[in-house]
Structure 1
Amino acid sequence: MEGIIEVYAYIESFITSYIEFVAFYILLCGFLEYPLAKRKIFLKIAVIPAIVNCFLCFFQLSTAIQMVISNLAMLVCLEYLARISFVRIFIIYVLGYMWIMLTEVVQLPIWNLTPAGIFHGIAPIGGMIIVLLLAWFAYRYIPLRKVYEAVSRWNILMLLVIINSLLVLFMVVMYARLKTEHFISNYLIIVGIMLILIIANVGEVYHYFKQKEQQKCVQVYEEYLPIIEGLIEQVRIRQHDYHNKLQSIHALAYVYEDFESLKGALLETTEHDMLPDFEMNLLKLNMHLVSGFLFSKIRQADKEGKELHLDIEQYVIRTACTEYEVIEYLGILIDNAIEATNEGETIFAKIGSQDDKLVFEIKNPGPHLTSEFCKNIFKKGYSTKKDGEGCHGIGLYKLNRMVKEYDGKLILENVEVDQKEYISFELRI
């Protein structure tokens, strides 16, 4: 009978460790935004930490030593799968460990109702299956990437939040393992303290992200408000010129007596003024910062000997994005188009709104799109730039990720303009 119990203990240890590693890998994919099935070898790699855990049970080492060795085994295996620096994988592991410990602690009272208790019988395997399902839920519905990016920037506030949360959860789990009966009797008090900690930390994290958004907004205002003021000043000057021009037109009636002479003089005088007033049209946009941004990009292209031709289809732009986000999205597309266009060539762009979404299309001369190019263009790190030409493969990857967050669309295709092949990006967000 004892032999059967020991065999079951090894099987239980193997299965729980295997499932736990798979849960860690799912969270890893969430933090790094990897497709879940990118490397199916993880199902085989998961056997390694499971076997390590079985050996630890066989030698009956202390709980603390078992936890250290088993966590190191999982950390090394995850690093092998992710192929990133050890520092980055450690940050991800700590974040994943916090999520798994939290989901374990929440389940403890439920499994305590079973005849075998919390850490025996079906409870460990059943609990780990729930952990796996909650890891998949986090992968699908929680913006894990944003949390990882905030922590990886070594923001002091975020690090303090992570450290104090990890310490509390670790102490709770250890207390549950070593003093199970006392833990259950004080469960409500412990959970209450944890909830207070979580609410406080979530509040701090929310404040941090809110502050970052406000900083971005202020930066955009500081950069593009002077351009808007310059546009307004140009319009004022143009109005003064129009006043003088009207006086000149009025005087023509006294200078020319016959109709044909007056007609010719009028056409000659007003020919230049009948051209579209582009600056005035830009100021009609309801997003004034976007107006200043577009004006600056048109001037940038002009300085580089390229023409950026912009059509404004609707002046009232409706979108769920903030103005600084719109500027960031359009900036990626426009900068890429300017870089890919040769001197003397023309870039065509248009902006409007449809179904409460911003619609922006930009076309620049480019090669025929291959299936491989379309497949890779939105991947992180993929770039057609040569070495030394700036950032590589970040802009479109970042844009595609942000568009998905707003349930938007980013369409890539070839179009023909004046019998010349162009690459077209259409953004709907």
Structure 2
Amino acid sequence: MKWYEIFVLSNIEILAFLVLWSKLNPNFYKYKVRSLFTIAALSGVSVILDYYTIDIGFVISFALLCTMVTILFQTRLEQTLLQFFIVLIFALSVQMIVTYILSIMQEDMSYSFSNGLKVNIATFIICVIIYRTSWLNRIQKLSLSYYRVILTIIVNVAGVIVLFFYIWQVDKAFIWNHYAVLLTMILIWEGLNIYFIYQMIKMRQQEKIIQVHEKYTPFLENLVHEVRQRQHEFKNHLNVLYGLAEMQDDYEAKQEIKNYLQTLIDKIKPVDKLLNIKDHILSAVIYSKKALAQEKKIAFHVEFQGEIPEYPLDKHELVELLGNLLNNAIEAAENGENGSVVLTLGMEGKFKMIRVKNTGKSISRTNTVHIYNRGYSTKEGKHRGYGLYNVKKIVDAYNGTIELSFEEKYIVFTVLF
């Protein structure tokens, strides 16, 4: 093929690749000029590699693509590689299937510009269709929650596909003679890996759910016990009110009854708020953190902003997110005088909101830049710096946002879904 034909085919191929990748990395749309530069640069490299007939030219192109994405689109190398392998599996699988279908429909499937154009255009159209689905988002969400398992499977599948393309570069005749068998084996291999990963994730999720219930069921039992205790005490409160009503001075009796009822209501209100939460695990988490704050002499308040929404998180993810935010807030409030923590649940506009604010030492601007990085902490000691990192990971998996702000004496973290 002519150099310009290779350039055109490479443009379409890389464009299809980046269409899928943009679903995982929104920076591709944010920096459109950089995206166009990436397509043009890699197409140029493909022309050079084809001219010198380098068997591992596609590997060099892939390595260059990952390097450019990491640098130009401000993505961590670890994240770039994970996203690359996900997109690689989708794009190359589609390309192989399209090639096989076209080989059945027409007799001549020689390595030519017209055939390459048909394959690449069809691949591009299917990639656009995949982009409009939620498949890639689901895979990315799972990869954030089960990184090691997902990465192992993805590299496993991608390795087989890369091997297929290497053989294609070296011996195209062998591939064409055994294309149906090789394609079937690759698809079966992908299917087995998908089934394996499904079972692994299902087991991990069940383990986490069991751990959550084991950890917070005692707190839920304590909450129920406290309610029963209040019910038992209610008879005593009625006797007191009856005695106050028997006072001869009506005005004084009214004032005493009013003050007594106000004290009783203030005492019952915190527990009553927790009982209004339909999600029992959520109630148990809040109750456990409230008990922890009380042990440390820290005021703990729960507020509702409208109706409490059903958050889009799995139970164990909600527990991890809220638990980490409240633990950090209590720990920070403990270091100052008159420590206070306020948890707000509800809606903020059309978004589902969780807000945690606490008193304590303010966070410097330097620390705010790195506060969500893994292992970064303003506190001393080992095994720190993972709380907010895990929170950010969960928020990102659901395309949510987390914002740090300052409100008078409070440090405020707001999560929106």
Judged with a 3 Å threshold, the aligned counterparts in structure 2 of structure 1 residues 210 and 343 are, in CA distance, closer, same or farther, namely: farther
Normalising by structure 2, report the TM-score.
Answer: 0.70
The residue matched to 1:119 in structure 2 has which SS?
coil
Contact 1:378 1:400 in 2 (8 A): no
Unpaired stretches in structure 1, ≥5 consecutive residues:
1-7, 367-371
Answering whether residue 44 of structure 2 is matched by residue 41 of structure 1, we say no
Which residue pairs with 1:259 in the alignment? Answer: 248
One-letter code of the match for 2:204?
A: K
In structure 1, distance between residues paired with 2:235 and 2:246: 23
Q: Which has the larger radius of gyration?
A: 1
Correspondence 1:219 to 2:211:
yes
**Shift of residue 402, structure 1, vs aligned partner:** 4.2
- Specify the alignment match of 2:141 in structure 1: 146
User: Is 1:401 aligned with 2:396?
Assistant: yes
Opposite residue 290 of structure 1, the aligned amino acid is: L
Structure-1 residue corresponding to 2:227 = 235
2:145 and 2:402 map into 1 onto residues whose CA distance is 26
1:9 aligns with 2:7: no
* 2:92 aligned residue (85, 101, 107): 101
Check 1:136–1:340 CA distance in 2 against 1; reply closer, same or farther (3 A cut).
farther
CA-CA distance at 1:203 after TM superposition = 2.5
Say if 1:85 and 1:284 are closer, same or farther in 2 by CA, change over 3 A. Answer: closer
1:311 alignment partner in structure 2: 303
Q: Secondary structure at the residue paired with 1:390?
A: coil
- Decide which of 50, 56, 63 is 1:75's aligned counterpart: 63
Q: Secondary structure at the match of 2:267?
A: coil
Q: For 1:167 and 1:80, how far apart are their aligned partners in 2?
A: 24
CA deviation vs aligned residue, 1:166-196 (integer Å, no higher than 9, x gap): 4267448846932465346xx4x66555544
CA distance in 1, matches of 2:41, 2:272: 67
SS at match of 1:309: strand
Higher relative contact order (CA 8 A, sep 6+): 2
Conservation of the 8 A alpha-carbon contact between 1:414 and 1:422: yes
CA distance in 1, matches of 2:154, 2:59: 22
SS class of match (1:218): helix
Instruction: Give the stretch that moved more between structures: 208-217 or 331-340.
Output: 331-340
Q: 1:295 Cα deviation (Å)?
A: 1.8
Counterparts of 1:151-300 in structure 2, within 5 Å, are 152-153=147-148, 155=149, 159-160=152-153, 162-164=155-157, 166-167=159-160, 170-171=163-164, 174=167, 177-179=172-174, 182-183=177-178, 187=180, 192-246=184-238, 252=243, 259-260=248-249, 263=253, 272-277=263-268, 278-300=270-292
> Which residue type is aligned with residue 119 of structure 1?
Y
CA RMSD of aligned residues (A): 4.9
> Could you tell me which amino acid in structure 2 is paired with residue 107 of structure 1?
V
For residues 229 and 235 of structure 1, what CA distance do their matches in structure 2 show?
Answer: 10
Q: Indicate the larger mover: 88-97 or 257-266.
A: 257-266
Aligned to 1:326: 318
Partners of 1:87 and 1:400 in 2: how far apart?
18
Q: Structure 1 residues 161-170 or 104-113, which shifts more?
A: 161-170
TM-score normalised over the length of structure 1 = 0.69
1:167 alignment partner, SS class: helix
Q: Report the AA paired with residue 259 of structure 1.
A: Q
2:96 is paired with a residue of what secondary structure?
helix
Distance 1:260 1:194, change over 3 A: same
Q: Tell me the SS of whatever aligns to 2:2.
A: helix
Match for residue 338 of structure 2 among 330, 338, 344: 344
Question: Structure 1 residues 394 and 410, CA, compared in 2 at 3 Å: closer, same or farther?
Answer: closer
Identify if the C-alpha distance between structure 1 residues 85 and 413 changes in structure 2 by more than 3 Å, giving closer, same or farther. Answer: closer
8 Å CA contact 1:379–1:393 kept in 2: the answer is yes
How far did residue 209 of structure 1 move? 2.5
Tell me how far 1:215 sits from its aligned partner. 2.3
Q: Shift of residue 149 of structure 1?
A: 3.8
> What's 1:369 paired with?
none
Percentage identity across paired residues of the two chains? 17
Q: Distance in 2 between matches of 1:317 and 1:147?
A: 23
